[in-house]
Amino acid sequence: MLTPFDDLPIHQTPAPMAQPASSDPNQYDRYFFNGHDADGDVFFAAAMGHYPNRGVVDAAFAVVHDGVQRSVFASGLISPDRATSIGPIRVEVIEGLRVLGVIVEPNETGLTADLTFTARTAAVQEPRQTINHDNRLIMDYTRLTQWGNWSGQVGYSGETVVVDPTRVTGTRDRSWGIRSVGEQVVTNHPATAPQIFWLWAPLRFDDVCTHLAVFEHGDGERWFESGLTVPVLDRPDSPTWGTPHPSDEMDSVGYEIEWESGTREMRSASVSLTRDGIDHRIELEKILTFRMRGVGYFHPHWKHGSNHGTLEVGGETFAVDDFDPTDPASIHVQTVVKARWGEREGVGILEQLAFGDHDPSGLTGILDGFSG
């Protein structure tokens, strides 16, 4: 089927743009955003995913304010032109790799938003993330990451939270490729216990941003790592893409985490970025924890790529203190942190996802909390 995108010189295969190059049901294309102030008074996140081989588009928006996490979800039938809207939730690409909007129109949950993300760095391309299991391709995708400021407002229950761009910063990413989503294909391969250990740490200081991303097997063998320093833009019109890339790739990265007892969440942490034999250690202080279920990750009903017919819209509200930290739907978190790097003080996120054993961290079982 032809769509208006076919008038643009962007084809990567002989097929029309609406036809995926792969028939893998886990083919996806995703937006993710977060925003927060330095004190954790407010945190919000948004996500939207397209799954062309499943015929699904889904999206969610969540806010944590005054000790409560509120979410609105929408999922439905994907359109051939890959429209970046579903139900009340819309993503607007106002200027590619520079200015994007997240809109949540009035809906039955009462949660609304009108937000604009403006880049403060160039977009950086993380190394391609590929892993096979039993000779089957499990993940193969690319992600870009970008730091920026937010403006606009969030509304709920008659309240309006003003988002001031001088105070509210955040990170966005875009990823696309193959990643496990929705109901999985049944195979004859023997079942294995799930194991994931993932850390993602975009941090921002006045003059520079840093980034760390790590995947490890249960024995600590690292199958993916990336570390970067990324300068902030000199001017609002500075280039946000192109080569040579305005960032420095580290020679190696590391981390140390002290876990909250009985959980798989940080109490305190540090990350280290090493280049030319110099180790740059950044101490992280926990401010606020966001459960990624709020934008669909591992959600029991709103799991990414799941089938909700032509359109379903819904929401949920939880007191932050009521979350069970060992519930499978709550194990994936982003923690807002204060960051200290020598004389520099900044703010950012440490994302944590740990399923299964992880020997270096002392984590055992599939979801058992830390007991060391």
Smallest CA-to-CA distance from 153 within 61, 24, 238 is with: 61
Contact status, residue 354 vs residue 347, Cβ threshold 8 Å = no
Between the alpha carbon of residue 270 and those of residues 53, 138, 285, the distances in Å are 40, 30, 9
| Pairing verdict, β 89-95 and 85-86 | antiparallel
Cα(317)–Cα(109) distance, integer angstroms = 9
Q: Give the pLDDT score at 236.
A: 86
Q: Give the pLDDT score at 182.
A: 83
Cα(76)–Cα(55) distance, integer angstroms = 8
CA dihedral 332→338→344→348, nearest 10 degrees, is 40
Judge if the upstream peptide bond of residue 52 is cis by omega within 30 degrees of 0: no
Q: Give the pLDDT score at 74.
A: 98
Contact status, residue 295 vs residue 58, Cβ threshold 8 Å = no
Can you name the CATH fold of 24-182+193-361? AttH-like fold (2.40.370)
Q: Which residues contact 190 (CB under 8 A, 6 or more apart)?
A: none
From first to last of the 372 residues of the chain, give the pLDDT tens digit.
998 999 999 999 999 999 999 999 999 999 999 999 999 999 999 999 999 999 999 999 999 999 999 999 999 999 999 999 999 999 999 999 999 999 999 999 999 999 999 999 999 999 999 999 888 888 999 999 999 999 999 999 999 999 999 999 999 999 999 998 888 888 888 888 889 999 999 999 999 999 999 999 999 999 999 999 999 999 988 999 986 556 789 999 999 999 999 999 999 999 999 999 999 999 999 999 999 999 999 999 999 999 999 999 999 999 999 999 999 999 999 999 999 999 999 999 999 999 999 999 999 999 999 997
Cα(204)–Cα(182) distance, integer angstroms = 33
Cα(84)–Cα(75) distance, integer angstroms = 12
Cα(347)–Cα(209) distance, integer angstroms = 10
Between the alpha carbon of residue 60 and those of residues 112, 254, 292, the distances in Å are 11, 32, 11
Write a three-state SS string for 337-362: EEEEECCEEEEEEEEEEEECCEHHHC
Between the alpha carbon of residue 319 and those of residues 40, 162, 316, 324, 355, the distances in Å are 15, 21, 10, 11, 24
Domain map (residue ranges) of the chain? 24-182+193-361
238 CA to centre of own chain: 25
Contact status, residue 147 vs residue 119, Cβ threshold 8 Å = yes
- Please give the single-letter amino acid code of residue 260: E
Contact status, residue 141 vs residue 229, Cβ threshold 8 Å = no
Tokens matching residue 123:
């977009």
Cα(115)–Cα(156) distance, integer angstroms = 14
Tokens matching residue 150:
């937010």
Q: Give the pLDDT score at 193.
A: 82
Q: Strand, helix or coil at 330?
A: helix
Output phi, psi for 317, to 5 deg. Answer: -135, 130
Q: Give the pLDDT score at 215.
A: 97
10 Å CB burial of residue 324 (0-12, 13-18, 19+) is: exposed
Tokens matching residue 32:
């993710």
Cα(50)–Cα(58) distance, integer angstroms = 7
